Amino acid sequence: MEAPIKMRKPARPEFGSDAVVDMLKAWGFKYAFLNPGSSYRSLQDSIVNYNGNVDPKVILGLHEDVVTAMAQGYATASGKPALCILHNLVGLLHGTMGIFNMYCAGMPVLILGGSGPADIKLRGPVDYLHSANTQGEAVRQYVKWDDEATTVEGVIDSVLRGYKIANTVPKGPVYIAFDSGIQETELKEPVAVPDVNLPCFQAPEPPAAPEAVIAKAADMLVAARYPVIVGGRIGYLPAATEPVRELVELLGAAYTDDRTFVSMATRHPQNLTGSRDVTDRADVLLAVDCADVHWTIGGYAGARSNVYKKREGGARRVIDLSMTEAASRRWNRVGGALANTELQVMADPLTGLNQLIAAVKARLKADKGLSKRFATRANAIAREKAALAAAQQKRLKARWNEAPISPGRMVAELWQAVRHKDWYLTLRNHRSWPEGIWEFDGAGQYAGHSSGGGLGHGTGASVGCAFACRDDGRFPVGIIGDGDFLMATGATWTAVHYKVPLLMIVNNNTSWYNDEEHQFKIAKARGRPEGNAYIGTTTREPDVDFCKVSEGYGAHVEGPVTDPNKLRASFQRAVNVVSDGGVAVVDVRTSSL
């Protein structure tokens, strides 16, 4: 289906687009996520005919927002930079939400955009309509870098520079406009395509923190009465699992995940994720690569005048280990309000963690009494964990037989269906996720949410993750909200077409519930009818037939499942389909919370 008619590859690039594709291949890009457009017809020809549609291989998405989400999902799940290609100005504008999401997530994505042609002799009427001067301005405020070169050699230089910038900490997407006229330029003489593996084209080593700063952070943590470590975006990285665990155990500290990230084993006796007050009880809190530290420490709970108010029991001392302050904030407010941090540790989070571990070990060696004190605290935290786990199980059982199905029952049954697989969670419930039910082993098992808050992300991101999982043998499974799924159902076709195994559960409460709840709250506050909250927020009369929609794309479907006692069998059939290489969608009718 996707094998092109073979041609003999020329001894050297014949067109401008051929030269760029040689670089993309040298970098090892496996996929080029795209939605077709005339502005990069030459680049697509070079990928398919000149390069044989192998490394990179063209992956067709049915909308640019899906294409950018797939690229983000792939970069997240694979741990490698991703490549996507967008058509001229109109394709770029369609994909902007996805670009903003990947920017917020810090994902290294090389975005090539067809543009122009700049030479008016080559322009047709549609080229005038679909192109712009300095096209990158459309996304300049939320990419790390953009460029629009005017020669073949200039484009080669731009791509080399862009790749390096995207992969330099803090990582993020770059956008390079590739003029269609330059793409189609026939090369009369050889063009030098540099060796992309030379050191000068590689991202620099991740930055470490000054020793004096690490020493102060270690002293604060060692002296703490009740230290808490919060794991943020390092949850994307499998390599974070061991250093997070080691630091938590060395200090006898409590741990909790930050919002929608996972960095530590669920069952670990010091993991208090799900506790409502663990961060409030901390006297020293270490935020490790948290996207919005002010949010992490509960800073938005009260009025602005209370942001820096001392808490009962004394002030909480906050350490922020991240590169957040090195990220561009020219236009947006990503990162939130300035947090009340005492110490900013500017370092690559993994590098900084290892520095802290070494510093804490040195203090433990110098003071033999610390280990006993920390072990006593760890035992007390373990008792907290046991009580927390019991409460979580009690809540799950209390709602076990509800219909519509409780989110807890749905997650618990799905966990039982996939727990013995080498699973990877592409997405999950945002606000209604039941902590303590799904058992993570640590970081690198969950892709997180869109990061930029953009709906329509989930399906495309799950498909992008699934490409990475297919390559390394993992089992991808995602729980996608009904509204999120509705915005991008076409991504299902891409998974089916390219035979990428994927299990998607539609968490279907027939509502944009976050907004329905907002309508309820504001009506109540104003003394108005709360029962009208459903107007303009729910997708009923008619209910959407997700099974029929998904079946139309070629997926195996189950549901809508309304009886909680039928979940297990539906999930098992779907798991069997995916295990055999298929795509399955299960529609589960759930309660809102």
Rounded-to-integer distance, Cα 412 and Cα 401, Å: 12
Topology of domain 211-394, per CATH?
A: Rossmann fold (3.40.50)
Cα(539)–Cα(528) distance, rounded to whole angstroms?
23
Q: Apex CA 40: angle with CA 35 and CA 43, to 5°? A: 105
Task: Please tell me the CATH superfamily of domain 16-201, with its number.
Answer: Thiamin diphosphate (ThDP)-binding fold, Pyr/PP domains (3.40.50.970)
Note the pLDDT of residue 303: 42
Q: What is the pLDDT of residues 442-461, one digit of tens each?
A: 999 999 999 998 889 999 99
**How high is the pLDDT of residue 451?**
92
Q: What whole-number distance in Å separates Cα of residue 88 and Cα of residue 125?
A: 14
- CATH of region 399-589, choose from 3.40.50.620, 3.30.43.10, 3.40.50.970, 3.10.20.600: 3.40.50.970
Between helix 369-398 and helix 407-418 the angle, nearest 10°, is: 110
Please, what is the Cα angle at 424 between 419 and 425, to 5 degrees? 95
CA–CA separation, 309 and 558 (whole Å): 52
Cross-strand partners of 59: 33
Distance between CA atoms of residues 562 and 288, nearest Å: 40
Token pair 């109540």 in the structure block, residue: 524
Nearest to 412 by CA among 388, 429, 424: 429
The residues with which 573 forms a beta bridge, in sequence order, are none
**Euclidean distance between CA atoms 415 and 549, whole angstroms:** 25
Q: For residue 307, what pLDDT is reported?
A: 39
Kindly report the three-state secondary structure assignment for every residue of 51-94.
Answer: CCCCCCEEEECCCHHHHHHHHHHHHHHHCCCEEEEECHHHHHHH
Round to whole Å and give the CA distance between 264 and 57.
35
How far is 424 from 578, CA to CA, in rounded Å?
Answer: 13
What is the structure's pLDDT at 309?
Answer: 44
Residue 11: per-residue pLDDT? 79
pLDDT at 310: 45
Using DSSP bridges, classify how beta strands 475-481 and 583-589 pair: parallel, antiparallel or unpaired: unpaired
For the chain, the straight-line distance linking the first and the last C-alpha, in angstroms and rounded, comes to 44
For 268-298, the DSSP string reads -TTB-TT-SSHHHH-SEEEEES-S-HHHHTT
Query: d(Cα 67, Cα 310) in Å, to the nearest integer?
Result: 46
Domain boundaries, the chain: 16-201, 211-394, 399-589
DSSP-based three-state secondary structure for 467? helix
- Assigned token pair, 394: 């009690």
Tell me the residue type at 550. Answer: S
* pTM, two decimal places: 0.95
Burial class (CB in 10 A: 0-12, 13-18, 19+), 530: middle
Collect all residues with Cβ–Cβ distance below 8 Å to 249 and sequence separation of at least 6: 270, 378
> Residue 92's pLDDT is what?
96
Asked if domains 211-394 and 399-589 share a fold, the reply is yes
Q: Determine the pLDDT at residue 422.
A: 98
What does the block give as tokens for 371? 């280990």
Sorted by sequence, the CB contacts under 8 Å of residue 386 that are 6+ apart come out as: 269
**How many other β-carbons are positioned within 10 Å of the β-carbon of residue 373?**
12
How far apart (Å, rounded) are the C-alpha atoms in residues 206 and 168? 8
> What residues in the chain have per-residue pLDDT under 70?
1, 302-314
Q: Which two tokens stand for residue 575?
A: 């798991």
Are 229 and 258 within 8 A, CB to CB?
no
Determine which helix (DSSP H) or strand (DSSP E) holds 176, and give its type and residue range. Answer: strand 174-179
Q: What letters, b where the CB count within 10 A reaches 16 and e where it falls short, cover 160-173? A: bbbbbbbbbbbbbb
